[in-house]
Each structure stands twice: as structure tokens, then as C-alpha cells.
Amino acid sequence: MITFIHTADWQLGKPFSRVADDAKRTILREERFAAIRRIGDLARASNAAFVVVAGDVFDSNRPSNETVSSACDAIGSIGVPVYVIPGNHDHAGPGSVWEQSFFLAESRDRAPNLRVLLESRPVEEAGYLLLPCPLSRRQGSDDPTAWIRGLDWTTLGDRPRIVIAHGSTLSFRQEGDEEDGGRQANLIELDRLPMTELDYVALGDWHGMVDAGDKAWYSGSHETDRFPKAGQTTGHVIVVQARRGGAPTTRPEPTGHTRWLVHAETFATDAGPAALKDALNTLVGTAQRRLALLKLSLAGSLGLAGHHELGTVLESWRAGLLDLRLDKNVAVAPTADEIDALRNTTTNTLIAKVAGELQRQVDAGEDAEVAGTAIALLHEFVHAGGTR
């Protein structure tokens, strides 16, 4: 029996371009390197003999020198052998990172435990056998595991046999791909593999942890990098115990620190923003905002004061979170008292006149939604001192 760690889809150097703040993008990129060091801690705690990375160490096959150097430092800290195959993001081939002189020098000096498996052939080690299926281009029409079907198993000894592959299966298509009706690129046909001769299939490409079938798993990304689907496990690796001829045992272990959260709220009264603030404090924790990203969907309606308070709440959370993805569809429903306060103000007759005309449009149904928004803006202007 052999114990090892299965991980994939590190995508080091990922730009996180949807995050507006450059300093926060830097935090997200750095956390991906920090998670590699936590894999080293887990390897030591689990007495793992090695680590396999099932593709996409880098986000592209032309990463920056800084990304390459940081990657080699982090991999070198793991201590045990780290076996890597090229995936679709960092595929092998002419000009790829794997043959660049800078990568070769950095990996030799900083990560002597790193072994990049560029050929589809058995790798025989003391106590285990690796069957790597590297990708030589971003999208291929051939099954990268097809070569395994032609092996002479009588020559390969009696030790755990571990496939390392990157691609989609019939059940799990590559994330983000459009359904085009054609053959999926890099399709792994698990049902054609000789599973009685294999002991574990370490898969990469799917960013959530998935039991893909008999002895086959997607580990998902070691650090969450997108808002997960309901029930999806992200930011984990798998500690595997494999034995020749037996079923493997798998244990998910968390390695990610960033938290990608989803929340929805529908407002009915102006008490809604205060309730939202309490809900977010419970969901995220005020002390944990620095490593959290939030997809927030808001609906319903609020009065003018409620809209002002909501703006204050959102401003605070946008500043404290790594990112706030906001879907806001909150109607303006000013109370009669709020409208009267604007229409009857004595400090600025122009504001009173504008408020009266906007309310007339709302009452008449003339662009009521636009007019209601304008009333809310007028209220914000007054609240900010615009009457002075």
C-alpha cells in the first residue's frame, strides 16, 4: 500500500481580472502559492510518499519569471517527490514553460523534488507505478489515456498503479465550455480503461472535487478560484491510499483559505439593510473579510432612508472583502413622509419643485421606475448636504 496526495489545477499566475483592486488580486494570487506549502505540511502529517499534480500547475504555458520562481520555491518546500503533468492551460510543446531555460534552472535549484512527466509511458518507482497522460496541446481530439489500453501488464510488476490525466469525462465536461454538440476536447473515456489493472485514476481539469467513477477522482483546485456550485467541495486535495488489486481509500483535506460565498436577500421594509448587515457578519465574520469574496443578489424594495442605509452597508463590505459581485434589483418605494419632506423643504425651493414633479410622474405611471430612482438620488443629495 502507498499513501500519496492528489491535487490539480493550481493555475499559478491566474490574473483574477474580474477583481478591480490590484492589491486584492495580488492576495488571491499569493494564496495559491501559500496553499502549496500547506500541501507540504499535509504530506508530512500524512506520511505521504509523493504528490501528483494532475495538470495545470500554471495558468498558461508562458508564465512570468516571478510566477515560475515562486512556484519552484513552494514545490521545493514540500520535500517529497512532486510529479506533474502538463494540462490544457500549461500544455507541453514547442515554447512551453517546461522547456524554457529559466524554468529548467529554477526547478533544478529550487525544486529538486519536482518531476515533470512529459511522455506517455510508465514511470516505475520503488513501491509504485505512475501512468502519466500529459497534454501536448490545449485541445486534442484524442483520449489522452488511450495509450494505457495497449500496455502489457505482465511486465509492470505487482505494485500500485496510478494514472495521472487531465481532461473531461462523459459525465464532467470542462468547466466554462459551451455545449457545441461535438466531441469534447481532451475527453477521457474512463469506461475503456482496464480498471482491474489500475488502482487509482488522478484526474485534473474540474475545479471541484468529484468522484468520477470506479477508482477515479477529480481533486479540484487546491485553492478555490471561483464561486462554487451548490454542494461542490473546493479548496481541497485528496489523501489517497492505494494498493495493488484493491479499492483505494480517499480522504479530502482542506488546503485553501479564500472563501467564495453566495448570499441572496429580498427586502420588504427599511429594516432590511440592518438585517443584511447582520446576515453577512454571520456568513463571513467581520474578522475574516480579508480572504472572502461574495456574490450578493438583492431584490425587493426599500424606502429612501433604506436605500441610503443599504449604500452605506455595501460600501463597507466592498472595501473589506476581496471582491463583491453585486446583482442589485431593489426598487425605490419612498414612504409618504419621505416624499412630503422633499416636496415641502423650505431650505431649497428647487429641490421641492423637482421632488413634486418626480412624484407626479410616479403617480401618473410616466417612467415611474426612472422617476423613483431620481427621487432616491435626490434624497441622497439632500442627505449629503446638497441643500446647503
pLDDT at position 181 is 41
Residues 104, 232, single domain; the answer is yes
- Residue 138 in domain: yes
pLDDT at 177 over 80: no
Residues 202, 279, single domain; the answer is no
What pTM did the predictor assign?
A: 0.85
- Residue 310 in domain: yes
Backbone angles phi, psi at 140, to 5 degrees: -120, 150
pLDDT at position 56 is 97
- Residue 161 in domain: yes
Residues 224, 353, single domain; the answer is no
Residues 249, 343, single domain; the answer is no
* Domain that residue 284 falls in: 259-383
Q: Of 45, 50, 202, 200, which is closest to residue 126 (Cα–Cα)? A: 50
Structural domains in the chain (count)? 2
From CA 136, how far away is CA 119, in angstroms rounded?
9
pLDDT at 380 over 70: no
Task: For residue 258, give the amino acid letter.
Answer: T
pLDDT at position 57 is 98
φ/ψ region of 205 (left if φ > 0, alpha if ψ in -120 to 50, else beta) reads left
Mark which of 194, 225, 254 sits at the end of a domain.
254
pLDDT at 368 over 80: no
Residues 131, 186, single domain; the answer is yes
pLDDT at position 304 is 81
CATH number (domain holding residue 196): 3.60.21.10
Residues 248, 197, single domain; the answer is yes
Residues 180, 236, single domain; the answer is yes
Residues 268, 247, single domain; the answer is no
Residues 297, 239, single domain; the answer is no
Residues 236, 270, single domain; the answer is no
- Residue 167 in domain: yes
Residues 250, 290, single domain; the answer is no
Q: Find out whether 330 and 307 touch, Cβ atoms under 8 Å.
A: yes
Quote the cell numbers at residue 172. 464532467
Mean of pLDDT values over 60-83 = 97
Mean of pLDDT values over 171-186 = 52
- Residue 68 in domain: yes
- Residue 388 in domain: no
Greater confidence, 39 or 308? 39
- Residue 125 in domain: yes
| pLDDT level of residue 359 (50, 70, 90 thresholds) | low
Mean of pLDDT values over 204-210 = 94
